[in-house]
Amino acid sequence: MVEASKAQLDRGAHMFGSLNDVAVMLAERLVNDIPCAEKIAYATTGSEATAYSMRLARAFTGRSKILKFEGAYHGNHDYAIVSTFPKETGNYPQGTPDSYGQPEATVSTMLVCPYNDLATLRKIVAEHHADIAAIFAEPVQRIIPAEPEFLHGIREICDEYDILFIMDEVVTGFRLCYGGAQQWYDVKPDLSTHGKVVGGGGPLSCIAGRADAPISTARCTVTRWPRPQPWRCSTSSASRASMTV
């Protein structure tokens, strides 16, 4: 790893959202190894990958809300840190902020549901589906593995209401088994987010997903695409040193 990373550093540290040879080689491997991956977009951290994928779900569906599960961790941004450590539970689907400084407007775009509870999920989605862009789930939520029927149920509900199923595989990807939880549980999400192992410990993350998902690099919303293209690029997404293959 160290030797391979050093060799890449000699060739430049940044990707700047453009393509390079290792990025393409790694993407080819990822498309082969991650069941839902028809294409790949890179970012730098797991938090960035989850934030981008929430934005692209909103752009893709034209809906504003994301449903997450109580106790799930999806990174450090304002949309993710909702009801991760709620002081009280039960007021579903209303979420509670986990940090001082979080805007109320952001928290109110998140809906929260208890984990492994398909009946409550069905109830919330039946009521709010017109606003829900994506259901976001960790397949092993911290230390709680999903019941297989729970993940299959999320897939069915998403298909029924045209909601995107985003599986957060930042922890489980390449670890639960090589194809991640989506292979282990045999459930294909529309998108999955990957971090940690994907960069071999270096700063790299990715979004894997459907061929029609608007995850190409774009600096602004443009209208020449069939669907609105959400912003997704940054200086270090992603550095060659983390992309050795």
Q: Residue 193 or 229: which CB sits closer to ligand PLP?
A: 193
Least Å distance, CB 144 to ligand PLP, is 12
Q: What is the DSSP letter of 234?
A: -
Q: Residue 229 or 236: which CB sits closer to ligand PLP?
A: 236
Least Å distance, CB 47 to ligand PLP, is 3
Least Å distance, CB 183 to ligand PLP, is 17
Q: What are phi and psi of 233, to 5 degrees?
A: -170, 150
Q: Which residues bind ligand PLP (CB under 6 A)?
A: 45-47, 50, 73-76, 138, 168, 170-171, 195
Alpha carbon distance 41, 24 (integer Å): 11
Least Å distance, CB 196 to ligand PLP, is 7
In 62-204, which ranges are continuous DSSP H helix?
104-107, 118-128, 148-161, 180-184
Q: Which residue is nearest to ligand PLP (CB)?
A: 46
Q: Which residues contact 231 (CB under 8 A, 6 or more apart)?
A: 55, 218, 219, 220, 221
Q: Which residues are catalytic?
A: 73, 168, 196
